[in-house]
Structure formats: structure tokens, C-alpha cells
Homo-oligomer: A and B are copies of this chain.
Amino acid sequence: MEPESFIYLDHAAATPVADFVLDAMRPYMTERFYNPSSPYAPAIQVRRDYEDAKAQLAAVIGAKADEIVMTAGATESINLMFNSVSGHVVTSSIEHQAVLQATMEHEYTLVQPDAKGTITPVAVLAALRPDTVLVSVALANNELGTIQPLKDIAMVLDAERRRRHMAGEQTPLYFHSDASQGAGLLDLHASRLGVDAMTLNAGKVYGPKQVGLLWAARHVILMPVVHGGGQERGLRSGTENVAGVVGFAAALTAASASRRAEAVRIASLRDSLKNALVAAFPEAVIAGNLKKQLPNFLHISFTGLDAERLLFALEMQGVLVATGSACAANKGTRSHVLTAIGMQPATADGSLRITLGKLTDQSTITRAADSIIAVVRSELKRVGK
């Protein structure tokens, strides 16, 4: 079966580079290949184009180009943020591995989510200590799609900052969010979200892989992970990935411009799939916070079935979905997110993460629903349910 003929419903794991993005990148690999640190005019023009691309990226989050550090993907961005603080860190037990692993380099407290995967402001408040320097909560959970109440968490942190100020305490308190998973569908404006620092990833918004950024407000003092020639204001050395950053800017700008319409379109498709599956299997468990969920996410569990068998049976029918997150999927362990929300093992083990995107339309959703219903029916029969 040719790749083109697959119905791809795993947009949370990876997205294809859009044609217009590749078109924007190509010149910086070929005729405008210059090192942006070189002093002659065509290289200076490349430097300007690079800075323009950073300004476009910054504009999406309501920031300036010089507040952004380009990184090789979201993971490095997260590491840069966590490397910049020393002290107690608060994050949640349902964060992406990149955040969890960076967290473990510090003293930390993991906030537990509620049953819908929400990190509540009250839970964050309970985890704060006088020496907490960083709180990091993803904009949306990458397995359930639950959108986190960042603005409300920010209010809790503001209160703690005021308390410290009144008490004459100097410890800073930064609020970071990995917004990789919501980008292109949610508002990313930093001041509206109430965050001091944000991670974004081109590979989730139809841009190239291993291109990301860390935005940090001016009062956040960053410390480099990678030392060298002094690029990115000394915060990330190495010859700039001009093509990648230009592509990221094209991808994120376009995704942001169309995000409201795309969110409506995709939520409608997601709901039609959900309704079809729930109608066929009333006992299926839909996880996440349905009132605060990414419009492209459907997390559905068939208690007693084996998600991996479902996944491979669906693949035979040309439908590609995920069990848990892509990063955890090939390690054979149960999702830490589903454990954290208290899902029973027999339900968690029968969970599919179905994520829609630009490749999805009504025709693919209808065919996917038919395939999923057929495959689940067959598996239910096999296990005698």
C-alpha cells in the first residue's frame, strides 16, 4: 500500500511539511545558502531574512524577535528553559517525557491531574514552595488533548510573586509552557496565557522536524545548554538553520491565521467520528476534558481489548492511529498519563489516540469510522464480548 493511500490520524505525532513551507525553505538551502554570520551583502540579506522569520514567529506569541531563541526542536527548548534555573521546580505527572526528564535534573514536585487530565490551579498552589523557581505546564496534554487552565494557574503564581515581594524574598518564579501540541489550533499569545516562557515546535504545525524555539520574557535569564560561536545572543551556538527557521515561520504564521476556522472544521470532523464510534460502542470510554479539549483529539478506550492489536488491524485497513503518545508507544509500557488520571489498566490498555489534522476531511473520517467499527467489532467477537 502506498503511503499516500493511508488515512493518517496521528497528527499529534508528526505532520507533513506543507508544500508552501518547503517552497519557502528551498531557496535557503540552494541559492541563498550563505552563512548568516558572513559579512558580504548576500549573507547579510540571509541574516535579515532569518531575523524577519524570527520576528514572524515572535508576533504569533505577541513577542519580539530578540526574546526568542531558536532551538533544534521542542526538547532542546525545554532543556534550555530548565537548564536556566536552579531551585525547586513544579510540573505535572502528565507532561511530555522531555519535561519530565528535564525536571529530574532538579528538586521537584509533580502535580497530579484530575480525572479529566486537567492540572488545576489549586493543585499547583499546593505544590508551590518558597524556593520554587519554575512551574511548567503544557498548553495541552499530548495524549488526551486536555487544554490546561494556564491563565488561572498564572493568577496563582502572580499571588505567590506578590507574597514574595511583600516578604522581601528575591526568588524569581517563572511560568513556562510547552505549547507544541496546541499550536495551530489555540491562541498562543503569551500575555493572554499568562506565561513567562513558551516552547514551540515546527514539526507539529506542518513545518520541518527538529526546529523549535524558546520564547522567554525579558526578565527571564536564560543559561545556554550549547556553547560555541555565540549565535542566538550566546544562548544557542551553532550556524543557524536558516531554511528551517524560515519554514517554521511560514508554517506557524499560516496555521495561526487559519486557526479559528480550522478548529471549527476539525472539531466538527472529530465530533462526527466520536458520535459514530459512541453510537456503535456505547460502552466505549471517551477520556479527557470534553469541554476543554484540543479540537483534533479523540481519546477512546475499549475496555478489555488490546490497543496494539487494534492499531495493527487498523493499519491493515490503511488507517493510522496511535496508542498513547508516539514517544511512549514503542517502549511497551503503560501510558504514564492514563495511569495518572486513574484509568483502570484494562481500559488504558484498550486506548486509541486519534488525532486529526490538515490531511483529514469528511471522506477520510467516514472511511476511518467504518474501519474502526469493523476492527473493534471483530476484536470484541474474538475476545467473546
A244 within 8 A of B: yes
A371 within 8 A of B: no
Stretch from A26-34, A144-152, A160-168 at the B interface:
A26-34
A41: chain B residues within 8 A (beta carbon): 315
Q: How far is the CA of A180 from the CA of B230 in the complex (A)?
A: 18
In the bound complex, do residue B239 and residue A209 qualify as a contact, i.e. CB atoms below 8 Å apart? yes
A322 within 8 A of B: yes
Q: Shortest Cβ distance from A39 into chain B, in angstroms?
A: 5
Q: Shortest Cβ distance from A75 into chain B, in angstroms?
A: 4
Which chain B residue has the least Cβ–Cβ distance from A21? B29
| Range for the number of chain A residues in contact with chain B | 35 or more
Stretch from A94-102, A125-133, A295-303, A334-342 at the B interface:
A94-102
Which chain B residue has the least Cβ–Cβ distance from A207? B29
Interface mask (A209-246 → B, CB under 8 Å = 1, otherwise 0): 11000000000000001111110000001111111100
In the bound complex, do residue A35 and residue B14 qualify as a contact, i.e. CB atoms below 8 Å apart? yes
In the bound complex, do residue A26 and residue B32 qualify as a contact, i.e. CB atoms below 8 Å apart? no
A114: chain B residues within 8 A (beta carbon): none
In the bound complex, do residue B73 and residue A239 qualify as a contact, i.e. CB atoms below 8 Å apart? yes
Which chain B residue has the least Cβ–Cβ distance from A13? B35
Q: Shortest Cβ distance from A254 into chain B, in angstroms?
A: 16
Which chain B residue has the least Cβ–Cβ distance from A99? B228
From the candidates B17, B30, B35, name the one contacting A22 in the complex (CB within 8 A): B30
A320 within 8 A of B: yes
Stretch from A3-11, A54-62, A182-190, A282-290 at the B interface:
A3-11
Q: Shortest Cβ distance from A83 into chain B, in angstroms?
A: 9
A79 within 8 A of B: yes
Stretch from A272-280, A325-333, A374-382 at the B interface:
A325-333
In the bound complex, do residue A3 and residue B326 qualify as a contact, i.e. CB atoms below 8 Å apart? no
Q: How far is the CA of A73 from the CA of B322 in the complex (A)?
A: 31
Scan residues 9-51 of chain A and give those whose CB is less than 8 A from a CB of chain B. 10, 13-17, 19, 22, 26, 29-35, 37-43
Q: A3-B31, A39-B329, A330-B37 are in contact. Are A240 and B14 (CB under 8 A)?
A: no
A208 within 8 A of B: yes
Q: Shortest Cβ distance from A210 into chain B, in angstroms?
A: 4
A238: chain B residues within 8 A (beta carbon): 72-76, 98, 210
Which chain B residue has the least Cβ–Cβ distance from A10? B38
Q: How far is the CA of A271 from the CA of B4 in the complex (A)?
A: 52
In the bound complex, do residue B16 and residue A237 qualify as a contact, i.e. CB atoms below 8 Å apart? no
Q: A16-B30, A98-B237, A209-B239 are in contact. Are A75 and B229 (CB under 8 A)?
A: yes
Q: A6-B42, A226-B225, A237-B75 are in contact. Are A14 and B29 (CB under 8 A)?
A: no
In the bound complex, do residue A38 and residue B322 qualify as a contact, i.e. CB atoms below 8 Å apart? yes
A240: chain B residues within 8 A (beta carbon): 209-210
A52: chain B residues within 8 A (beta carbon): none
Q: How far is the CA of A238 from the CA of B71 in the complex (A)?
A: 11
A311 within 8 A of B: yes
What are 10 A-B pairs with beta-carbon distances under 8 A? A10-B35, A14-B239, A39-B329, A40-B311, A73-B239, A76-B238, A97-B228, A101-B229, A105-B227, A210-B244
